[in-house]
């Protein structure tokens, strides 16, 4: 009887851990493995920038943690509507999604 040979292979992609691990926003599902309080505490230890907490009354999304600077450029309600319309449909209630946001504000002043 021939001897069966077992082969093993390991492939790894190694990258430096980015600090901060969150750039703009984090969307926590209602049943995500990590809760908002724990994530906020971790952020306060890892990130110098302040993050705002937005509570969400939803069947999928539990909380949004967003960089305070983003909320100076985008009204809170507009961000909530964006998340509800575009992010929620692709999210499960046990996930945590990281968002990199590109916010552009165009200002026109016709009184100059």
- pTM: predicted TM-score of the whole model, two decimal places: 0.75
Residue 49 is given by DSSP the state S
17 in a structural domain: no
More confident residue, 93 or 23: 93
Q: Which DSSP string do the residues of 63-82 spell out, in sequence order?
A: EEEEEHHHHHHS-HHHHHHH
Domain residue limits at 73: 25-99
40 in a structural domain: yes
SS3 97: strand
13 in a structural domain: no
65 in a structural domain: yes
16 in a structural domain: no
Q: Which two tokens stand for residue 42?
A: 């971790």
Least trusted range by pLDDT, from 9-18, 35-44, 84-93: 9-18
pLDDT at 31: 93
91 in a structural domain: yes
> Total domain count for the chain?
1
Are the beta carbons of 24 and 102 closer than 8 angstroms? no
90 in a structural domain: yes
48 in a structural domain: yes
């Amino acid at each position: 009887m021939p001897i069966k040979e077992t082969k093993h292979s390991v492939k790894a992609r190694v990258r430096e851990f980015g600090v901060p691990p969150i750039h703009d926003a984090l969307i926590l599902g209602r049943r995500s493995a990590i809760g908002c309080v724990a994530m906020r505490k971790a952020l306060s230890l890892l990130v110098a920038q302040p993050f705002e907490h937005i509570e969400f009354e939803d069947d999928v999304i539990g909380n949004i943690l967003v960089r305070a600077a983003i909320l100076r450029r985008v009204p809170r309600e507009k961000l909530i509507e964006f998340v509800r319309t575009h992010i929620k449909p692709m999210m499960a209630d046990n996930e945590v999604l990281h968002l990199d946001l590109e916010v552009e504000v165009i200002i026109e002043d016709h009184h100059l």
